[in-house]
Amino acid sequence: MHRYYDHLSHVIGHRGACGHCPENTTSSLRKAKSLGCTWVEIDVCLTSDGLPVIFHDDTLNRCTNGEGLMLKSHSSTILELDAGGWFSPEYSGEKILTLEQVIHEIIALDVNLNLEIKSHLGWEPETVAAVARVLNEKWPSDKPLIISSFLPEILEEARIHLPQFPRGLNIDVIPTNWLERLSEIDAGSLHFYEPFADPAKIEALKRAGYKVMCFTVNNPSRAQELYEMGVDSVFCDYPERMITGQ
Ligand code: G3P
Ligand code: MG
């Protein structure tokens, strides 16, 4: 088990604290910290000119005042967009962060990071190479970071270009052949979709020495059931619900 998993907390702020603030932005990260998070999860993907930016969707439509595909949009446009006004007028003017900017913010907040790498199919090597260039230069050695992805090819590339970080496989349903899938990419954790919690499989994963994480859990009593099944951490949009029971 990679030593970074020793630091894992029971609650990970999802896209920062995206129930309270526009997801994946500075305000969302700061909110997660203020609510007691010691870990946050954010998504990274590429612009057309290969800049890694912190953004969840393939398209700009839902979370910015722009439109079209992120991967077909130049960073000069992306970095000018309003990524907060869609959530509430209070946040208008909030910008999309670059990976480099978010690293500075995460260091300043003194939280640990689960970086989920998103990619279009076919662009996995380019995506990881660009992310790795930034992480290898800017991420402090010995600061805990877990790389995760729904795409096994991303994790295979991360194993090559970012071997110092543990890898988590995101998946909806815990597959029957989970051991084979995790072994293939030498992953240390499996992150599954909450409706598909399967106590027997979670127990087997734990017995095999894996960390098990679950997205997205906003109900504290459901989180308690999952912890009792052996789940180590839940991704939460409202982290204060789990941390302080508010
Ligand atoms: O990494 C856990 C979770 O964020 C995966 O789903 O769609 O919220 O990125 P999504
Ligand atoms: Mg995510």
pLDDT greater than 70 at residue 246: no
Cα 32 to chain centroid distance, Å, stands at 13
- The whole-number pLDDT of residue 245 equals 54
Q: Distance between CA 246 and CA 194 in Å, rounded?
A: 21
Ligand 1 contacts (CB < 6 A) are 14, 41, 43, 56, 116, 148, 170, 191, 215, 235
Cα angle vertex 202, ends 36, 172, to 5°?
Answer: 80
Q: Distance between CA 46 and CA 125 in Å, rounded?
A: 12
Q: Which two tokens stand for residue 91?
A: 């946040």
Query: 220-229 and 199-207 helices cross at what angle (nearest 10)?
Result: 50
Q: Rounded to the nearest whole angstrom, what is the distance from the C-alpha of residue 15 to the centroid of ligand 2?
A: 6
Nearest CA to ligand 1 atom 6: 215
Quote the DSSP letter at residue 96: P
Q: Distance between CA 3 and CA 79 in Å, rounded?
A: 35
Q: Rounded to the nearest whole angstrom, what is the distance from the C-alpha of residue 99 to the centroid of ligand 2?
A: 14
Whether 92 and 84 have beta carbons less than 8 Å apart is answered as yes
pLDDT greater than 80 at residue 90: yes
- The whole-number pLDDT of residue 132 equals 98
Q: Which two tokens stand for residue 152?
A: 């096994």
Q: Distance between CA 72 and CA 199 in Å, rounded?
A: 42
Instruction: State pTM to two decimals.
Output: 0.97
Q: What percent of the chain has pLDDT over 70?
A: 99
Q: Give the mean pLDDT of 12-39.
A: 98
**Strand, helix or coil for residue 62:** coil
Q: Distance between CA 48 and CA 42 in Å, rounded?
A: 20
pLDDT greater than 60 at residue 89: yes
Minimum-distance ligand 1 atom for the alpha carbon of 56? 9
